[in-house]
Amino acid sequence: MSSTQDAETIEAFCTYHPLAIPVLRGLGLALSPLTCSLEACCLDGARDIAVVRAAVTAAEEALAGSWRGRPIAELLDHILRTYHRPFGRELAELEVALATARPSAEGAAWKQLVGEIANLRADMELHMEMEEHVLFPWLRDPASTATAPIRAMQLEHADTIHLLLSLEPPAASSPSAAEVVSRLRALESWLCEHLHFESNELIPRALQVEASRR
């Protein structure tokens, strides 16, 4: 009998576990439709759901396990240094690859991808700006309540996961198009690391700080 957990949708599972996106892709599992259950996804891909869950847990532990218990200021500095500061450069490299591939790319799918990447840039830049001006300073010096910005960050993370899951490039028909796909998947994996640190390491710490103030 399927558990309620196994019946959750791909989108819901990846929202709580951002690293599931690169892990599931690496296992050859299809992540669409987003309303498909995790159980059905694993069945379609002939993968044992327990093994899939274990692989996601292992990826999370490998990425962030060593950060648990370290000062929150160190975690904030790590997120800023590793994910916020390089974001513009990483997006620019993908955009250059997209521009190079465009002459050999055909159909509306590539045009849609260009638009989705532009939306991703705009959304993430605004999101990171709000974090750096509101939430992160509060975490360094919690002088007032932060329930609203914490909740806003959670909702924006869910929106980003939805966008990442929707980034499905067309089949690569040329070396330049294949380069776009490769860069896109690398960027996706990197962003999922970023989201994992914030959703599953930083936000729980922030909620603990907020609860201690009541």
- Average pLDDT of the chain is 88
What confidence tens digit (pLDDT) does each residue in 146-203 have? 677 788 888 999 999 999 998 888 777 778 888 888 999 999 999 999 999 999 999 8
Give dist(CA 179, CA 162) in Å, integer: 23
How many domains does one find in the chain?
2
Q: What residues make up the domain containing 195?
A: 69-212
Maximum C-alpha span of the chain: 59
Residue 103 has a pLDDT of 55
Same domain as 52, residue 78: no
Do 149 and 45 belong to one domain? no
Higher pLDDT, 32 or 191: 191
Mean pLDDT of 109-133: 90
For residues 23 and 126, membership in a common domain is answered with: no
Handedness of CA 11, 15, 18, 20 (dihedral sign): negative
Same domain for 60 and 74: no
User: How do residues 98-120 score in pLDDT, each as one tens digit?
Assistant: 888 765 555 677 888 888 999 99
